[in-house]
Structure 1
Amino acid sequence: MKKSFALYKSAIFSYLIDPLFYASSLLTVLFCLFKFFFMGKFFVSGLGSTDLRPFFNSVPYISILTVPLLVLRLRPLLLDDSVPLSPFKRFSALSLSAFSAFAFPLILLSILPFCVNLFGTMDFFQALSSFFGIFLYGLCASLLSILFFSIFPNSQVFPLILSSVSLALVNFLHLLPLYYQTGIILTFLCRKISFAWHFDSFSKGIIDSRNIAYYLILAFVLLLLCVSLEYKRLGKKTSRLTAFLFAAIILLVSLSFQNLYFRADASKNGQFSLSKTSKNLLSNLENPIRITYYRSKELKNLYPQTSDVAEFLADYCSESKGMSFTLEKADPEKLKALGIQSQQIRSDNGTKTEFVTVYSAVLIQYLEKSELIPFVLSTSSLEYDLTQRVQKLITSKDRKVYLLCGNGRSIEESYLYVAPWLSSRGFEVEHLNDFNATEVLKKLTPEDQIAVFGTKDLSAEQSFYLQNALEKGAKAFIATSPFHTTIEDEWKVSKPEHDSMISYLNSKGFAFDLSLAEDISCYPLTMESGEGNKAEYATVNYPLWLVIQNQKEAKKGATVFWASPIVPYGQVEPLLFTTNYAWKQRPAASDDGNLFLTNPFMIPKSAAASDAKNEQLIVAARSKNISLVSDQFFVSSLMTGFISGESSGDFRNYDFLTKELLVLRGEGELAALMEKSAPVTSLHKIVGESEFSAKRKLVLLLTFGLLPLVILLIFVFVQIKRRKK
């Protein structure tokens, strides 16, 4: 043991005196930081994310170059026959020294999670899991490179190149089926061989014994191959029986780990494991439930995340003896008979782009009843989708909600996403209109639920019956305010003369401040200024469109438009808050009849410029049976289009609506499942530009300044110590 440790120290010393080691460490640090902060657009407004997976995924890229260079430094010790150690002990010590050199820059980079935490919520357990996984990767990468230097002992350049090429292959081999048609066997082998595929679960915060076993068994196999090659180089023979027994043991251990394993979810909110809500529901099953996952074989190659779906479904069913899970290959004819529609997804095939027809549906069967999840690609909301459907099957209770537009518009035209969104979340939706609204409102009971968007155009009769129903205990989500904005043209704001619902809400603890809330945390509008040839596009922050940062009642955040502050009192609790840098714009009559300044180019962008004071404002609140957002366009399809990207929609407001409807029904635990699987990665801790700039300078100084300086100082210190000796 002492001799092995002495060899390890000798190898470490050879690194410490080698400028190439410091250059390699510096390159790793700078590459990973640059890829995360700049290529990942961390400091770009609206694009920055606290998700560290891009950082950890960059390590294998740079390792293609650095690991072979680090092993090259060990070449004299690898071929030194004078070392009084057996080949096994010698290669063990040298592989650990190469691993230590690999780990050195990553240990320095452990400062990164703390830097990122300055800007947003950091999942430190996920970061620890990722570091553990990347260290296992580094051990195997080091041994793989050592193996090639053992195969070609008489060359330096050839094993160096071959190591880099091999690392590139094992890093990205699992991506091959995404671009080329591969058979089932080849796809399976690509996944099993790929280093990156096995690291994926670690980067999510999942500790899977199968992946740990993969890295450790692979490291042991590579070590044995190196030892065998060393015996061959020295002209010594190894027993074939011994080699056979080792191979048999390794095979048996590998197979046992595939069947007997543990899988622990270390992520902050248990994102990839079952919640207590689901476990309690499944523990009380009186009759068996069968879950079948129909998946196209092409989808597994195009979207590897569907493997997580299958594993989650298996884990879900394992919670109860009365549940069974089956994974079936999608049969188009059978699925059409079940009412399951196919989906078209894009596939880049290297030389061409095509659309592939696929299925990925989950069928839940209970007694003679069934529920369907028509299409699923990830586990992002899978637990909620499963649990609310299982609950519905067991209890036979529908979640019915009425939708009423009270601002002169229609649900079908102005709020067209609301009904399909709520339907996908397990609600039965019924639209109310001028013909049936009064009769339905008249018959509402305490068990009924309604969502109202705007109240200025409700008739006196409709307002009366709605208020009467609320007095009896009916549940309502109401999106309204004392003011009305014309959203199709010049954004003029006026105050309706007769809106009895505003007075009613004021009497129930929802007091409206007769102003509009503004905040420096706001939506950046891209608009056209000028006319004719002088027209140009400019991006301006619009303080009247409040960007609500993630908080207790809105884990993903939200966006509200022309909202009036709410002053809750009595039993009413606040829900959504602005930042502490918000302010109020008071109404002031103008020549065009607009009560407020709404022009994005003219409106002041701060409290100081508005001659107002900074304060935190409330724009949503909740009582026992009423949830109020002071914005009638909160889930308007037009406003959703404004704030959505080109390729994806911003439906955070719809999630808030769904959550509030569930909470009002007494299903708060179920509502929590929607947000559990959606970790907040936005840079929500910084709202002011000056604060953001200061924190950015600090982080850049610590990462791009301090870390390289530490590497340089260690190099200088070692050189000084050597000269003194």
Structure 2
Amino acid sequence: MKRLYGHVLSVLLSSVFPYVAAAVYVSFAAVQFFLVQQFFTTGTSDLRQFFTAFPTVSIVVIPALCASVPYRGRELSYPLSSVSVIAAQVLAVLTLCAGMIVLTLTVPLAVSLFGDVELPPLLCGYALLLLYSACAVSACLFLGTLISQTGAAFLAGAALLALSSFSHLVPLYVNLPEWIQTLFHSLSFAWHFDAASKGIIDTQDILFFIIATLAFIASGALCLECKRGNKSLTLKRLVLLSVTAFVLLFADSALIRFRIDTTTNRQFTVSAYSKTLVQEVQDPLTISYYRSKTLKDLYPQIVDVEDFLRAYADESKYISFELVDPAKDSNAELLNRHGIYGQTIDTSGRETTSYATVYSAVVISYLGSTEVLPFVLDTTTLEYDLTSRIQSLVRGTVRSVQVLVGNSLDIQSDYAYVIPWLQSQGFVTVQTYLPSQCEENADLVPFTQLKSVPLLMLGSSSCTPSDARALEDFIASGSKALIATTPYEIAVGPEGDWSVSAEEDALDLMLFDFGIFFYNSLTADISNFTLTLTSSQTAEGLPTTERTEYLNYPLWPSLMAQTNAPTGMTLFWPCAIDLDDTSALSAYHSTLTPVLVSSDHAWQIKAVDGKFETNPFAVPQTSEDATLYRTFNFAVHALMDSSGGQLYVWGDQYALTTQMLSYGASSSSADFRAYDFLTDTLLKLNGQEQILTLKNRNIRDTSLYKMDATTRLSCRSQTLALVIGIPCLLLLALYVFFFTKRKNFNRGL
């Protein structure tokens, strides 16, 4: 067998075709990830989409490699067992596939130049890709043994791999019985690869490919035996025994399933914090997961939600889990009572447009009370959400916040997402007002009446001297507040021109007593947001073909990942904050701490003739004086040593506005990182710092932060040339080496 393996591999390596196939394999994977997935404009360092290219390109490459195995038809005369012959051929072609897979490492290496690549999912992905290749090779060689014509065997192998690549999509377009849907899912590469792409070792997926590979090798060997003329009763019994054994192995693989979480933060494993909490559950608690069957067909990763909920329930004998079909009328009525409504998702194909209403909700019931997670698609914040709700039920923990708008903007339109967002995070919200605003309307509630409830204040231009004194007393007496404001306002409305109006309000003077000072300038940063500008007119206003231009806007700094912003954040015209510990200690004996900071290449832009320049085309991209670059504070924390009062000052009153949220949105989702910072800060003010470890444990920065958008675009051609060119040069060198070696061998040298 060893000699046959070496001989087949040697002949393959001496032919030009495997090198062409390898070049196609690598090039397709690189082009699909970098260009089709728009890596250089909207991409991330998450490599899950990278692996989706391999099943598609394998549809052609692997059957073609198997069809090029030399001396097909001579297996009948080999002095080896049929199993040895097929196994040797499989190992030879698999060796070539392993080499092709190694050559694709240029892609993750290139991605690491733009952002951080997480190692466990990468290793798990490549390991499962190798198992898939073994399965695909053994299947195609079996068909080659079964079918005498090479062309027909190639087409049959390509059809089989195409079925494996896209079988999970069939139930979306054809109404099939549930057992047939399950069969199609079990045959799908995407279905079995999803866990590995996240860094999860799933024995069911591994056993699927191993058993399938062995089954195809055995089938090929039995087929070869039949062609050798062996039609004995023993062979027939062996066939029956083999079929029975493989069926039982497939069935048992689901029963003995276990998953190993290899991710850096063990993000798919129940944390110690949650395990401690569930030990306090001393009465029956039920976790009901309402999931539409259609959703499982659309998103394989939804299985992770069920797996995590089951694992969570296993941590306590008092917790039970149930998977419920929301399609039943009684369940739909129950969901409506809980305020859970179906979400509409796009199920359109290339030539069809369709939508489906689906449910993926979690209802937690305990001692007659319920908590709800209205819609869950993945496990990113599932443990945090689940533990927060159970903590509320078991411990009676309450999160509360009073929301006050202190500028000229409106809570219903300009800050439309703030209250709904906080409520979705489990906060009890109440809208309060400045005392001066309540003088004209007795029905309004001043923030001073709710001293035990943390205050969120958005803007401060409406703040009078008496309001500022009330706020100072509020904090000094032990209350807590988060104030998002700047010493100027920007015209951000629908007709706004982004002009700046700067007036010193009473709050700015009050903050001096806490040792907090705003700069009287705008802060710019080399690390900033890239505006996408689209135009279909010339400078003269004449129509022309649509063109897109990318422009860096230094007045919208993009914060790097840091302790209090683990995925970074975009700020909008923020004001830098200076701290004076001497002033803080003399007034309230407070401790001052920076919370959010700029990059080390930020600078200040001062007003010219009393006006600030905010035009994206006119704002300088860099500082005229490189010595002015430094790091500035954008948010600070003041802790009153005597009373325990806390004050967070965030130098940005526009990051939470509806208008700016739309600017930061991508084609597929909005940028809620500022809202995450808001949630984290309010959790701290509610004394729930510990649960923050759950909220942020699964957050991984997949942004391409190492290069800005303009630099990435300029590197596009060079990156593709290197990612594809280096493997192709290696392939060329290998071909020359083996071709020369073979030529010398034939000459007898």
Give the TM-score range, shorter chain. over 0.9
1:347 maps to a residue whose letter is T
The Cα shift of 1:347 comes to 3.0
- Identify the residue that residue 498 of structure 2 maps to in structure 1: 491
- Identify the residue that residue 576 of structure 2 maps to in structure 1: 565
- Identify the residue that residue 468 of structure 1 maps to in structure 2: 473
Whole-Å Cα distance in 2 between the matches of residues 357 and 194 of structure 1?
24
Bigger shift: residues 290-299 or 618-627:
618-627
CA deviations on 1:190-223 (whole Å, 9 max, x unpaired) are 0012233212211121110111111111111111
Whole-Å Cα distance in 2 between the matches of residues 175 and 547 of structure 1?
39
CA deviations on 1:496-551 (whole Å, 9 max, x unpaired) are 2332x223334424332222111233233337798883589865332211222333
2:500 maps to a residue whose letter is V
Whole-Å Cα distance in 2 between the matches of residues 530 and 697 of structure 1?
28
Whole-Å Cα distance in 1 between the matches of residues 264 and 717 of structure 2?
28
1:603 maps to a residue whose letter is V
- Identify the residue that residue 221 of structure 1 maps to in structure 2: 215
Residue 129 (structure 2) pairs with residue 134 (structure 1)? yes
RMSD, matched Cα: 2.5
CA deviations on 1:678-704 (whole Å, 9 max, x unpaired) are 4321101224856x5786676445412
**Unmatched runs of 5 consecutive residues or more in structure 1:** none
Whole-Å Cα distance in 2 between the matches of residues 298 and 721 of structure 1?
57
Whole-Å Cα distance in 1 between the matches of residues 552 and 714 of structure 2?
20
The Cα shift of 1:66 comes to 0.9
CA deviations on 1:118-165 (whole Å, 9 max, x unpaired) are 21111111100000110010000001101110111x311110111111
Residue 181 (structure 2) pairs with residue 187 (structure 1)? yes
- Paired residues of 2:380 and 2:699 also in contact (CA < 8 A): yes
Whole-Å Cα distance in 2 between the matches of residues 379 and 651 of structure 1?
17
What is the count of residue pairs matched by the alignment? 711
The Cα shift of 1:425 comes to 0.7
2:6 maps to a residue whose letter is K
Residue 280 (structure 2) pairs with residue 257 (structure 1)? no
Bigger shift: residues 708-717 or 610-619:
610-619
- Identify the residue that residue 416 of structure 2 maps to in structure 1: 416
1:8 maps to a residue whose letter is Y
Cα distance, 1:437–1:481 mapped onto 2, change above 3 Å:
farther
Cα distance, 1:720–1:532 mapped onto 2, change above 3 Å:
closer
Whole-Å Cα distance in 2 between the matches of residues 601 and 559 of structure 1?
19
2:601 maps to a residue whose letter is Y
Residue 630 (structure 2) pairs with residue 615 (structure 1)? yes
Cα distance, 1:310–1:51 mapped onto 2, change above 3 Å:
same
The Cα shift of 1:614 comes to 2.8
Residue 715 (structure 2) pairs with residue 704 (structure 1)? no
The Cα shift of 1:453 comes to 0.7
Residue 243 (structure 2) pairs with residue 247 (structure 1)? yes
Out of 651, 667, 674, the position equivalent to 1:630 is 651
The Cα shift of 1:492 comes to 2.4
- Identify the residue that residue 16 of structure 2 maps to in structure 1: 19
- Paired residues of 1:201 and 1:207 also in contact (CA < 8 A): yes
- Identify the residue that residue 283 of structure 1 maps to in structure 2: 279
1:274 maps to a residue whose letter is V
Bigger shift: residues 299-308 or 383-392:
299-308
Q: How does 1:380-529 map to 2 (within 5 A)?
A: 380-433=380-433, 434-435=437-438, 440-445=446-451, 447-488=452-493, 489-499=496-506, 501-525=507-531, 526=533
CA deviations on 1:331-384 (whole Å, 9 max, x unpaired) are 223433444323333333776433333332211011111111122233332222
CA deviations on 1:231-272 (whole Å, 9 max, x unpaired) are 100011343333333333333333332122210122333333
Out of 84, 90, 114, the position equivalent to 1:89 is 84
- Paired residues of 1:441 and 1:465 also in contact (CA < 8 A): no
- Paired residues of 1:291 and 1:364 also in contact (CA < 8 A): yes
- Paired residues of 2:82 and 2:221 also in contact (CA < 8 A): yes
Out of 62, 73, 76, the position equivalent to 1:67 is 62
Q: How does 1:36-75 map to 2 (within 5 A)?
A: 36-44=33-41, 47-75=42-70
- Identify the residue that residue 676 of structure 1 maps to in structure 2: 697
1:471 maps to a residue whose letter is A
Residue 40 (structure 2) pairs with residue 28 (structure 1)? no
Give the match's secondary structure for 1:43.
Answer: helix
Bigger shift: residues 271-280 or 64-73:
271-280
Give the match's secondary structure for 1:639.
Answer: helix
Whole-Å Cα distance in 2 between the matches of residues 535 and 694 of structure 1?
28
User: If the length of structure 1 is used for normalisation, what is the TM-score?
Assistant: 0.92
Identity across matched positions, percent: 32
- Paired residues of 1:520 and 1:687 also in contact (CA < 8 A): no
CA deviations on 1:12-71 (whole Å, 9 max, x unpaired) are 111210110111111111111111112222222xx1211111221101111111111111
Out of 743, 746, 749, the position equivalent to 1:723 is 743
- Paired residues of 2:523 and 2:555 also in contact (CA < 8 A): yes
Q: How does 1:163-182 map to 2 (within 5 A)?
A: 163-182=157-176
Residue 115 (structure 2) pairs with residue 120 (structure 1)? yes
Residue 544 (structure 2) pairs with residue 533 (structure 1)? no
Cα distance, 1:217–1:342 mapped onto 2, change above 3 Å:
same
**Unmatched runs of 5 consecutive residues or more in structure 2:** 582-590, 640-645
Give the match's secondary structure for 1:540.
Answer: strand
Cα distance, 1:568–1:95 mapped onto 2, change above 3 Å:
farther
- Paired residues of 1:559 and 1:653 also in contact (CA < 8 A): yes
User: If the length of structure 2 is used for normalisation, what is the TM-score?
Assistant: 0.89
Out of 301, 324, 329, the position equivalent to 1:305 is 301
Whole-Å Cα distance in 2 between the matches of residues 360 and 398 of structure 1?
25
- Paired residues of 1:401 and 1:429 also in contact (CA < 8 A): yes
Out of 534, 544, 552, the position equivalent to 2:555 is 544
- Paired residues of 1:523 and 1:541 also in contact (CA < 8 A): yes
Bigger shift: residues 165-174 or 240-249:
240-249
The Cα shift of 1:561 comes to 1.3
- Identify the residue that residue 156 of structure 2 maps to in structure 1: 162
- Paired residues of 1:289 and 1:364 also in contact (CA < 8 A): yes
- Identify the residue that residue 642 of structure 2 maps to in structure 1: none
Residue 529 (structure 2) pairs with residue 555 (structure 1)? no
- Paired residues of 1:179 and 1:349 also in contact (CA < 8 A): no
Give the match's secondary structure for 1:533.
Answer: coil
Whole-Å Cα distance in 2 between the matches of residues 254 and 568 of structure 1?
65
Cα distance, 1:41–1:452 mapped onto 2, change above 3 Å:
same
The Cα shift of 1:644 comes to 2.2
The Cα shift of 1:189 comes to 0.9
- Identify the residue that residue 584 of structure 2 maps to in structure 1: none
- Identify the residue that residue 587 of structure 2 maps to in structure 1: none
Give the match's secondary structure for 2:690.
Answer: helix
1:497 maps to a residue whose letter is E
- Identify the residue that residue 336 of structure 2 maps to in structure 1: 336
Whole-Å Cα distance in 2 between the matches of residues 105 and 666 of structure 1?
54
